[in-house]
Amino acid sequence: MPDIPHLTLTLDVRALVGEPIEQGTGPEGRRRTVPIIGGTFEGHGELSITGRIVPGGADSQIIHTDGFTEADARYTLETSRGQLIHVRNRGLRHAPPDVMRRLLAGERVDPALVYFRTTPTFETAQPELQLLTRSIFVGAGERYPDEVVLRFWRVD
């Protein structure tokens, strides 16, 4: 029997976001895109990096009638040394209906009331950053009116 995996905190991301672009309701639910306009990140442990989020990313969301949200964010990190890391971060977010209504309206809500979990993948050509491309990660997020705070743990 293999050992039970454990989690190692690897990366903190603070993404600045713009106003959501509403695209209407289709067969899968309400679709909207949230622009990612900047931000910062910091690595931990073996991943000793810092840097910025390159403006131009986006989080494409499908919001179901009860507020349950499927997210698919794509953006680029740039380290302080100029190294680029492409991120694709898929996730789920839900909370009691009144909390989701307020959150989706852009109001500040207590993050402890919201289930917001993700599964990021990373792509980079940098040999010293291959820990990112060759590991599985899970994330937890907090949504604020103009910022998303994410923490990513490597599954060891």
Structural domain boundaries of the chain? 7-155
Instruction: Inform me whether the pLDDT recorded for 147 exceeds 90.
Output: yes
Nearest to 127 by CA among 76, 81, 73, 75: 81
Query: Per residue in 43-77, pLDDT tens?
Result: 999 999 999 999 999 999 999 998 999 999 999 99
What top-level class would CATH report for the domain 7-155? mainly beta
d(CA 18, CA 71): 16
- Entry pTM: 0.94
Question: With bands split at pLDDT 50, 70 and 90, how would you rate the model's confidence at 104?
Answer: confident
pLDDT above 70 covers what percent of the chain?
100
Question: With bands split at pLDDT 50, 70 and 90, how would you rate the model's confidence at 1?
Answer: confident
What confidence score (pLDDT) does residue 2 get? 86
What mean pLDDT comes out for the span 10-16? 98
* C-beta of residue 143 within 8 angstroms of C-beta of residue 108: no
